[in-house]
A and B are shown apart, each in its own frame.
Chain A
Amino acid sequence: MALQEVGYPVCTLGEAKNRSDLVIFWGCNPIHAHPRHMGRYSVYARGFFRDRGRNDRTVIVVDPRKTDTTKLADIHIQLEPHKDYELACAMRAALRGYEFEVDSVAGVPVETIYEAMDLCKSAQFGQLYFGMGVTMSKGRHRNVDIAISLVIDLNAYTKFGLMPMRGHYNVNGFNQVVTWLTGYPFGVDLTRGYPRYNPGETCANDVLQRGETDMMLNIAADPGAHFPQKAIKHMTKIPLVCIDPHQTPTTEISNIVIPTSFSGLETGGTAYRMDGVPLELKKIIDVPEGVWTDKDVFEYMLKKVREML
């Protein structure tokens, strides 16, 4: 969301691999959630200008907890939970050379903040990766907003980019597709016949928690396991259709379950990597007999919908 408000300095993972000598992981734990990220792209990978791999890079991890990623960090900035916004503001202030009148901000000693900002300033090419720890703590997309502002400030001294750590393999792909078709990246409301976009009003959780939606079609996700209780409670009251090959907590509260094939295993297709690079998924094995693909299901559904309207 914040990307639309202040812009978005990006690069591809290939560029990060070849050039970045300073890496910040903010609110993410790639060792567990993206196990090959550090090895392939961000930290240990030997790039064209970083041929010593890890030895050529400084790693800063911002996380309120000690994780397996923080163990590998050169600096672990252990902030208090939900104080990401404060910390980013303090970092921007430190970057501009302001003196602090306190000893610590967000539970982090000011010396650590100064030290981190000195490292960032003296880097040749920095890269900030942020995860759910930033977008899901207090402040939500405003945290990303301020992180982007920090990266823009850093670009006055050196090259710096940032990238969200995408969980599912094609989160970015949907954002691209729906932006191409409606003009907005997600949370698009088409009920009035034209696209509207207002996060906080038109996102899945908003309409579910307020009990506004009267039918839900869930596609290859598991809101029954990940959404707040209040949203799930509403999901149990309305007709729910689940398009998913597996039994999940969501299928248990569904009225209709439509299983499909696995994209990338049983059907090919296109997916967008977290940096926006589209890659071709391969078909490796055949679809089990009688099972339809996602594309077949939606094309047939489109045909039926057009007949009924």
Chain B
Amino acid sequence: MVEIVKNVVCPFCGCLCDDIEVMVENNHIVGTKNACRIGHAKFMHFEGAVRYTEPLMRENKKDDFKKTDYETAIEETARLLVESKLPLMYGFSSIDCNAQHAAVNVGIDVGAILDNTASV
């Protein structure tokens, strides 16, 4: 059974088109209406990309990744941030504002440099 969700905001570019119709079947997006090609690709998620579903960690960048759990990966990240003298937090442009709020609070607490894609 295909369910149609109307007036979806497209999370791709700064236009944020808010008239997208998305067809959903069994928790999978099967089609879109009104979206442009780039937006459609973001919804359909068929760019041949590899999606991770578990956190990965490695000590040395030349080693292979080992799977781990969220608690360990985040705790290790927090330790790196706290121990670092000049941590840099970069990106932020493709997450929503609530997540940005929490991330900026982390940056304020550890004394980081915060920067997003607007500066590139």
Contacts and interface: CB of A to CB of B under 8 A. Distances in A.
Given A170-B94, A219-B92, A247-B49, A263 B99 contact: yes
A205 B5 contact: no
A104 interface: no
Nearest to B38: A35
A221 B5 CA distance: 28
A155 interface: no
A164 B57 CA distance: 38
A262 to B, nearest CB: 7
A256 B105 CA distance: 21
A63 to B, nearest CB: 19
Given A168-B94, A187-B113, A302-B106, A205 B119 contact: yes
Contact of B57 (A182, A189, A215, A255): A255
Contact of A258 (B36, B37, B74, B94): B74
A295 B60 CA distance: 28
A96 interface: no
Interface centre among B36, B89, B90 (most CB of A within 10 A): B90
A226 to B, nearest CB: 7
A123 B47 CA distance: 43
Contact of A245 (B43, B52, B82): B52
Interface in A157-185: 165-178, 181-182, 185
A281 B13 contact: no
A246 B52 contact: yes
B85 A185 contact: no
Given A217-B77, A256-B76, A176 B97 contact: yes
Interface centre among B5, B71, B84, B97 (most CB of A within 10 A): B97
Interface in B66-90: 70-71, 73-90
A139 B55 CA distance: 41
B103 interface: yes
Interface in A211-234: 212-221, 223, 226-227
Nearest to A141: B119
How large, as a class, is the contact surface on chain A? Answer: 35 or more
Contacts of A97: none
A102 interface: no
A245 B94 CA distance: 11
Given A35-B37, A221-B92, A295-B98, A256 B120 contact: no
A305 interface: yes
Contact of B8 (A171, A182, A284): A284
Given A265-B43, A291-B53, A181 B108 contact: yes
A246 B50 contact: yes
A236 B62 CA distance: 10
A192 interface: yes
Given A172-B14, A259-B52, A265-B42, 6 more contacts: A136-B120, A171-B117, A255-B59, A271-B9, A294-B103, A302-B105
23 contacts: A36-B15, A167-B14, A171-B93, A178-B116, A187-B113, A188-B115, A190-B112, A190-B113, A191-B85, A204-B90, A204-B113, A204-B115, A214-B87, A215-B80, A221-B93, A265-B11, A272-B97, A273-B16, A279-B9, A290-B54, A294-B99, A299-B102, A305-B110
Interface of B: 5, 7-18, 22, 24, 27-29, 36-39, 42-43, 49-59, 61, 65, 70-71, 73-120
